Amino acid sequence: MTRFALDTNILAYAEGVNGAPRQQASLDLISRLSRASTFIPVQVLGELFRVLVGKSTVPPKAAQIRIATWLASFPLIETSPSVLSSAIELAVQHKLRVWDAIILAAADEADCRLLLSEDLQDGFSWRGVTVVNPFAAQKNELLKGMLGPESGV
């Protein structure tokens, strides 16, 4: 079973950041993913809280409740010492921001094959994890196969 990790922007869109069309596309995507094979790096939830409170001006208590919902929705990938070490190596070698590198390294730690993200470079691959923009016009074949033929995502 192919494992997926979700980046912050996927969850932020699901929360309504960047408008209704992007929200619906993200919710459609998330609804099609298996709960058992989809993971959220803890770093993503920290970033989501920041986005909700900062960019979307959601009150902190309301943002806390939304984060708690995501915590209960999918298995989490902790930012362990090995994730941090790999992330720093990744940041140095590929000039990624360390926060993005933590998310990618966490996906690797959880044996994810795809990291779904609109923010990171579509197609970038590291240690067997490939960044896939699920909203790109040209759909990734592995993602299409996992979501099924009727998927508009």
At 109, which CATH number? 3.40.50.1010
Residue 153 lies inside a defined structural domain of this protein = no
104 in a structural domain: yes
29 falls within a domain: yes
Summarize pLDDT for 48-104 with one digit per residue, the tens: 999 999 988 899 999 999 999 999 999 999 999 999 999 999 999 999 999 999 999
Mean pLDDT of the chain: 93
CA–CA gap between residue 138 and residue 118 (Å, rounded): 13
Looking at residue 144, its pLDDT comes to: 77
Residue 112's SS3 state is coil
Domain coverage including residue 143 = 4-147
Over the stretch 7-53, which tens digit does the pLDDT of each residue have?
999 999 999 998 999 999 999 999 999 899 999 999 999 999 999 99
Tokens representing 69? 């919902």
26 close to 153: Cβ distance less than 8 angstroms: no
